[in-house]
Structure 1
Amino acid sequence: MAQNLKDLAGRLPAGPRGMGTALKLLLGAGAVAYGVRESVFTVEGGHRAIFFNRIGGVQQDTILAEGLHF
């Protein structure tokens, strides 16, 4: 089975030079964009928010005002 996969990979055409680097950069940029998107949240006007940590639970001493938070 492993030999069949190696044979198949050998028959595929090689991509242009730098394709591996470009793919790594694209994946890295995608990971950073996902991390930023998941770490930003908005508290609507007229509301307050408390911070919830999956490890420590609710942190009631941290009350967040309205606006964009990271």
Structure 2
Amino acid sequence: MAKKKLDQAVGVGYRLSSHEKICAERMNNILKSIERLEKKVADLSDNVSKGKGMISVLVALGTIAAACIGYFNFK
């Protein structure tokens, strides 16, 4: 009986070490995925900032154009 318990302990140790390897690989994959997502979020944030800047420029140009058209129509 003691020998069977010893074999089971070795089997459990083997299964545990293989489980740890699988978990380590999963964690590495998760970390890589998170890094890619962080990079994409940073790129999207930059694009949004550029878009907001472009919209403010277009609004300013539109305001100037409307002011010029209004000035010349009333004069």
TM range (shorter): 0.3 to 0.5
Higher relative strand content: 1
- TM-score scaled by length of structure 2: 0.37
- TM-score scaled by length of structure 1: 0.39
Higher relative helix content: 2
Report 1 or 2 for greater relative contact order, CA contacts < 8 Å, sequence distance ≥ 6: 1
Q: Which structure's CA Rg is the greater one?
A: 2
